[in-house]
Structure 1
Amino acid sequence: MRTARAASAPSALRLLRSSCLLYLRAAPGPAALLLLTAVLSGAAPVVTAWAAKAILDQLGRHAGPPLWVSVTVLSVTGAVVAIAAQTAQYGDREADRLVTLHTQTELFTAVSRAQGLAELEDPAFQDRLQLARQASQTSPQLVAGMVLGTVQSMLTVGGFVAVLWAFSPLIALLVLSATLPALYAQVKLGRRRSDMAQLVTPFLRRQIFHAALLTDVRAAKEIRLYGLGRFFRERMLGDLGSAQAGERRVDRTVLRVESALALLSAGLAGVSIAIAVHLIDTGRGSIGQLAIVTAALATVQLTISSLTGVYGTISQSLTLFGHYSELVGPGPAPAGDLCEAPPLTEGIALRDVWFRYHPSHEWVLCGVDLEIRPGESVALVGLNGAGKSTLVKLMAGLYRPTRGEVTWNDTDLSAVDLTSLRRRIGVVFQDFMAYDMSAADNIAIGDLGAAGDRPRLRRAADRAGIDTVLHALPHGYDTWLSRMHLPEPAPTTTVGRGRRRLSRSAPPEPEPDPAPDRTGVLLSGGQWQRVALARALLRTDADLLILDEPSSGLDPVAEREIHLGLREHRRGRSSLLISHRLNTVRDADRILVLEQGRVVEEGTHSALLDLDGKYAHMFRSQADGYQLADEEQTRPGHKDLPGACS
């Protein structure tokens, strides 16, 4: 990862060039407009000062152009400056919109390009991503603004320095002598800001995380129940305070340096004005020249101060842009030509697979050998932490094995195009997502090609046992399954340019409901699990179906219905079922028992019961629990409670 130190000169020039080219590609029109306004704004102060000098000289009966010419030039220049300022504001805002759209597209395309999860689980990558996001919203604009500001400033400074040199070379040299220490100091300050930005990023990320927790509906239940509001608030404020402490240290340094530079500039300006007054007093200048010298001193010092300030921040901007540039780059080249995943004709297998999440961590999987043949139903059981969900992620290509290989038709997944592989897999993860979207969209996530095929969505929902519930919602499948966001309002016909116009003979549109019901609906955990299952079942052509605890949130009756439906859906295709409820896996062709990352038992339900090992012990423990529950219900004093309210 790139450090926060300012890049070397060649690297800085490369980043400067890349940033400017990005700006030009994203906003060519506004960039040309801003360049024109920069040229006009840079020349305007010199022209204004010249016209003011000419007017004063005419009033003082010195030689010069006619008074009306100077007044006209002054008026026209003022009008041009005013129009240029407004035009520049528009161009700057439009460029900012276009560049932000361009960089956000590039950035999140690069983030989505990653095929696995390892990067997203790396805190260092998350810090770099945060810096890259910050850069994508500001750095190209700041760098381009610096270049345009330099053009404008050089025109202004060049014109005034020429005026000062013509009047007194000594004054011109005094004014320019303040630029070197100012430029050096600002570059140093830019490096300090870059270091600070990288140091405080972890604090700011945690602060955002804690702030999001305090407003998250899903977390609100536990936060209120356990009284965690103050706990998370203090953590949020602590991280924010740590970030602000780092910023405060840099700001105090900036205050000291800027104050010293201001005193230096003021001293040099005083000396320069004294020299100018002496020259005019001795007859070597006019009152108009004193006015232009005074204006030149003020403008040059202000412009140079602004310019050095911009150069001071360019180091930080380029460093941040370096993170963005690296992240959106082409990435590592593939090891070789990747093949499309063919239909599963020989099976998927894990061969001596070892896996751990970090070299310093314990092994999660230890020499696992597992094969799922075409059309075979395999169940995987084991205690929590045995490595079952990790195994699923390896089969889906979300991680690479630390040792060993995962094969699809005897081809290592490292040689298979993962996008084509995942089109052949349907998965229900244990930690499935509940998206803040409509019911139809939540199911269509499983296969976006079916987004407009409502009958197909309903068939998948019906197989998951959720169609009746979704159809009965206030707006059916179009009901929003969230109360955090409102659905987009229905489009309305607008009369105007580029819109369909209503004919005069057309009947009036009905008045819209003044208070339409756009409130979302919250599903229960079990209902959400059925929606997630419908996503996987939407892929009717999937060769492999992976179900990781697909019924953990369902009641026993619903669980039985789901598994009866899944038994039909799995018929003829390979499947892997992971469940802690062993009554749901007894009809699998093979059952594997995973313990501490190893497969310790394998066989059919009856064979494993006869083996009287780990599986038999777990199965009988669950069966004993159900028998105890039955005995409780038959004890004296037990009575059925009333059913659902009418």
Structure 2
Amino acid sequence: MTGAPRGGARGAARRLPGLLRLTWRAAPAAATGHLAVVAAGGLVPPAAAWVTKLLLDRLTGGGAVLAPVLALAVLGAVLAMTSHLTRYLDAQVRREVGLAMQDRLFASVNAFTGVRRFEDPRFLDRIRMAQQAGQTTPMQLVSAVFMGVQSALTLAGFVTALLVISAPMTAFVLVSALPLLLVELRLARRRAEFLWGTSPAARRQGLFAGLQTDVRAATEIRLYGLGGWFRERMLGETRAINRAERTLDRRVLGGQGGLALAGALVAGAGLVWAVLRVRAGVLTVGDIALFAAAVGGTQGSLEGIVARAADGYQALLVLAHYEAVVNAGPDLPAPAVRRRAPELRAGIELRDVWFRYADGHPWALRGISLTIPAGRATALVGRNGAGKSTLVKLLCRLYDPTRGAILWDGVDLRDIPPEELRERIGAVFQHPVGYDLTARENIGIGDLSALHDLDRIRAAAVRAGVDAKLAGLPDGYDTMLGREFFSDSDADGVMLSGGQWQRVALARAFLRDARDLLVLDEPGTGLDAAAEHAVHRRLREHRAGRTSLLISHRLSAVRDADAIVVLAGGEVAETGDHAALMRAGGEYAGLFRLQADGYRLDDTEEDPAAGPSPLTAR
């Protein structure tokens, strides 16, 4: 699943029928027309060679030449038209097939209900290769097939001409092309391996290039003088790719250069033979013209077929990445018996939940057993790395527990379709995503059914305290947030501060008003003290009587929770309400007092007898 393309020629051949079927489903008229045009174009060169022979023989023999001249003119016109029609139909097929491939790829990516694959760098490389394959491979392969058909028809015409002149010479010319086929197929595989081998470097190169123009990184890059450092990292990756490509180019040059020289020797030998036959009176002047055209046409057609076969082979090898993604299947096991998520009346129970992100990694959660009662506010607190965010991911079924179970009113989360479970959950995360969409869309995506309901969107924004800001933008709620994309219609796109984005994320959560579970992961991040106080007041009002899970490093924000669960090292260290935990004097009490001490003045500042500080005495 994560290696380089496998399967060789046999595996590549298995992929061809499927892609051709997709091509004809996506663009039936254009594909059929394209095939007809290239077929006609393939028959013109040998026909022109035959007519040229006839014309030369009549010129030397004193016959009528009007008919062959007119025939050559018609064939020239047909050849000129087919080239233009081929380009037009090629573009039509490319657009339609590319759209179908892109749709299939991202439908598969969006069907991954968990996030494990998106945190696997090798699978991300595979997705990148799949995107590249979806954009370029279909047309590369369709073009290879169609132009291969054209070359085959041209070859058939010229081989027929050669057979009329000399069967042994025909065999000699055809056999001389076999090494070309073998070399080109080998080079095609090397090209596919090159693309896979350089994919990590290409992804890093794109990352370092993107950082230098990313508005989110611009301030820090300039403050710390990182521009040159990132540029060198980018250029280093580019140089590594270039070195690998240069090695490949040398192999291509060595293989193709030697074969081109051999082909020229074959053509030269054939021409000497034909001249000698003319001098012996066996062949006519027209025959030698036909022979020369047929040898050149046969070699050119064979090279075309081999080149198209190599292109198609390379495309099919790269297509292995595309197929690996679209055929990857679910990343979370499908339930043996699908059950609906019941309305949350009793609560959520975690039974001896263990979890680690991969085999061999340390345990992120160790035997967690706790209950989140329905209609109550439960807080999760603990130091960094205690397992709080991991537990939230499991509750949202972005991962499944390694051991143990999570029950939603007695139903195992693994028996509930993830999309149905998530319809029951509203969430605000610590680092919400600011989308380059309009203000209305940025809130409306919290519940797509409300995307065009401005009244609901504004009501959510009012509750989040961001309505005045958004309504005052140049185009109100239709103003583009962010400046990633530019067009005349969004020239007034604006940037929001971190705190304002946090309020937009809160509005998304408020839009999901009727959900059974509200998850609030550091909802006050990026807010000033007054704004944070206002947000927490609104959240207290909003979560009254609702099942909610609060996560915060600022313990004053969760002290009013009905129950507080303290995590340490992936385990439950203690539970209780604020008063009980303070009396217990454990982990929670220690953290709470540590934070509270930060807001108290030290003894020197509190003691008037100490006199003024050195600064105030001046």
TM-score range, shorter chain: over 0.9
For each residue in 1:104-161, what CA deviation from the matched residue of structure 2 results, as whole angstroms up to 9, or x when unmatched? Answer: 1111111111011100111111111111111111222122212212211111111111
Select 2:191's aligned residue among 178, 190, 193: 193
* Matched-pair contact (CA < 8 Å) for 1:280–1:290: yes
What residue is the counterpart of 2:420 in the other structure?
Answer: 420
Aligned with 1:128: secondary structure? helix
* Matched-pair contact (CA < 8 Å) for 1:425–1:543: yes
Distance of 1:468 and 1:634 partners within structure 2: 44
Select 1:553's aligned residue among 526, 547, 550: 526
- How far is the alpha carbon of 1:274 from its aligned partner? 0.8
- How far is the alpha carbon of 1:634 from its aligned partner? 9.9
Aligned with 2:564: secondary structure? strand
2:182 aligned partner, one-letter code: Y
What residue is the counterpart of 1:506 in the other structure?
Answer: none
Aligned with 1:545: secondary structure? strand
What residue is the counterpart of 1:312 in the other structure?
Answer: 310
* Matched-pair contact (CA < 8 Å) for 2:194–2:244: yes
What residue is the counterpart of 2:458 in the other structure?
Answer: 458
Select 1:302's aligned residue among 295, 300, 323: 300
Select 2:245's aligned residue among 244, 247, 259: 247
- How far is the alpha carbon of 1:632 from its aligned partner? 5.5
Distance of 2:69 and 2:329 partners within structure 1: 61
In structure 2, the CA distance between the partners of 1:286 and 1:630, relative to structure 1 (3 Å rule), is farther
What residue is the counterpart of 1:430 in the other structure?
Answer: 430
For each residue in 1:435-457, what CA deviation from the matched residue of structure 2 results, as whole angstroms up to 9, or x when unmatched? Answer: 11111111111111111111111
Show structure 2 runs of 5+ residues with no match: 614-618
* Matched-pair contact (CA < 8 Å) for 2:141–2:311: no
What residue is the counterpart of 1:379 in the other structure?
Answer: 379
- How far is the alpha carbon of 1:340 from its aligned partner? 2.5
Aligned with 1:206: secondary structure? helix
What residue is the counterpart of 1:617 in the other structure?
Answer: 590
Distance of 1:547 and 1:596 partners within structure 2: 21
What residue is the counterpart of 1:524 in the other structure?
Answer: 497
What residue is the counterpart of 2:89 in the other structure?
Answer: 91
- How far is the alpha carbon of 1:2 from its aligned partner? 6.4
Select 2:128's aligned residue among 127, 130, 146: 130
Distance of 1:633 and 1:276 partners within structure 2: 112
Q: Structure 2 length as normaliser, TM-score?
A: 0.95
Select 1:601's aligned residue among 564, 571, 574: 574
What residue is the counterpart of 1:533 in the other structure?
Answer: 506
Distance of 1:337 and 1:584 partners within structure 2: 40
For each residue in 1:529-569, what CA deviation from the matched residue of structure 2 results, as whole angstroms up to 9, or x when unmatched? Answer: 11111111111101100000000221222112111111111
- How far is the alpha carbon of 1:84 from its aligned partner? 1.1
Distance of 1:630 and 1:102 partners within structure 2: 71
Distance of 2:197 and 2:406 partners within structure 1: 40
Aligned with 1:626: secondary structure? coil
- How far is the alpha carbon of 1:8 from its aligned partner? 4.3
1:424 aligned partner, one-letter code: R
Aligned with 1:366: secondary structure? strand
What residue is the counterpart of 1:589 in the other structure?
Answer: 562
For each residue in 1:63-117, what CA deviation from the matched residue of structure 2 results, as whole angstroms up to 9, or x when unmatched? Answer: 6xx4221111111111111111111100001111111111111111111110111
1:420 aligned partner, one-letter code: E
For each residue in 1:464-494, what CA deviation from the matched residue of structure 2 results, as whole angstroms up to 9, or x when unmatched? Answer: 11112222222221222112223673xxxxx
Aligned with 2:269: secondary structure? helix
2:218 aligned partner, one-letter code: A
For each residue in 1:13-43, what CA deviation from the matched residue of structure 2 results, as whole angstroms up to 9, or x when unmatched? Answer: 2111112112111111111111111111110
Distance of 2:53 and 2:505 partners within structure 1: 78
In structure 2, the CA distance between the partners of 1:396 and 1:207, relative to structure 1 (3 Å rule), is same
- How far is the alpha carbon of 1:593 from its aligned partner? 0.7
Aligned with 1:35: secondary structure? helix
| Greater CA drift, 600-609 or 553-562 | 553-562
* Matched-pair contact (CA < 8 Å) for 1:480–1:486: no
* Matched-pair contact (CA < 8 Å) for 2:375–2:548: yes
Distance of 2:95 and 2:189 partners within structure 1: 28
What residue is the counterpart of 1:340 in the other structure?
Answer: 340
1:91 aligned partner, one-letter code: L
State the 4+ residue runs in structure 1 displaced beyond 6 angstroms: 633-638
* Matched-pair contact (CA < 8 Å) for 1:51–1:73: yes
Aligned with 2:548: secondary structure? strand
Instruction: Report % sequence identity.
Output: 46
Distance of 2:94 and 2:281 partners within structure 1: 52
* Matched-pair contact (CA < 8 Å) for 1:388–1:578: yes
What residue is the counterpart of 2:616 in the other structure?
Answer: none
* Matched-pair contact (CA < 8 Å) for 1:486–1:519: no
Q: Structure 1 length as normaliser, TM-score?
A: 0.91
The within-5 A match list for 1:336-415 is 336-415=336-415
What residue is the counterpart of 1:510 in the other structure?
Answer: none
In structure 2, the CA distance between the partners of 1:279 and 1:409, relative to structure 1 (3 Å rule), is same
2:570 aligned partner, one-letter code: G
For each residue in 1:243-283, what CA deviation from the matched residue of structure 2 results, as whole angstroms up to 9, or x when unmatched? Answer: 12111111100100101101110111011101111111111
- How far is the alpha carbon of 1:608 from its aligned partner? 0.8
- How far is the alpha carbon of 1:173 from its aligned partner? 1.6
- How far is the alpha carbon of 1:62 from its aligned partner? 6.0
Distance of 2:287 and 2:602 partners within structure 1: 103
Select 2:205's aligned residue among 207, 210, 233: 207
What residue is the counterpart of 1:34 in the other structure?
Answer: 34
* Matched-pair contact (CA < 8 Å) for 1:381–1:592: yes
| Greater CA drift, 5-14 or 599-608 | 5-14
What residue is the counterpart of 2:599 in the other structure?
Answer: 626
Aligned with 1:351: secondary structure? strand
- How far is the alpha carbon of 1:586 from its aligned partner? 1.3
- How far is the alpha carbon of 1:315 from its aligned partner? 2.5
What residue is the counterpart of 1:643 in the other structure?
Answer: none
2:175 maps to 1:177: yes
1:306 aligned partner, one-letter code: G
Aligned with 1:120: secondary structure? helix
Distance of 1:384 and 1:608 partners within structure 2: 20
Distance of 1:26 and 1:348 partners within structure 2: 47
Distance of 2:43 and 2:70 partners within structure 1: 16
1:163 aligned partner, one-letter code: A
- How far is the alpha carbon of 1:330 from its aligned partner? 7.0
* Matched-pair contact (CA < 8 Å) for 2:341–2:411: no
2:551 maps to 1:578: yes
In structure 2, the CA distance between the partners of 1:467 and 1:7, relative to structure 1 (3 Å rule), is same
Distance of 1:268 and 1:633 partners within structure 2: 101
Select 1:281's aligned residue among 279, 282, 289: 279
Superposed CA RMSD? 1.9
What residue is the counterpart of 2:145 in the other structure?
Answer: 147
Distance of 1:576 and 1:633 partners within structure 2: 38
* Matched-pair contact (CA < 8 Å) for 1:439–1:480: yes
1:528 aligned partner, one-letter code: W
What residue is the counterpart of 1:442 in the other structure?
Answer: 442
Distance of 1:570 and 1:634 partners within structure 2: 43
* Matched-pair contact (CA < 8 Å) for 1:132–1:321: yes
2:28 maps to 1:25: no
1:7 aligned partner, one-letter code: G
Distance of 2:264 and 2:85 partners within structure 1: 33
1:364 aligned partner, one-letter code: A
Aligned residue pair count: 609
Show structure 1 runs of 5+ residues with no match: 490-516, 639-646
1:231 aligned partner, one-letter code: W
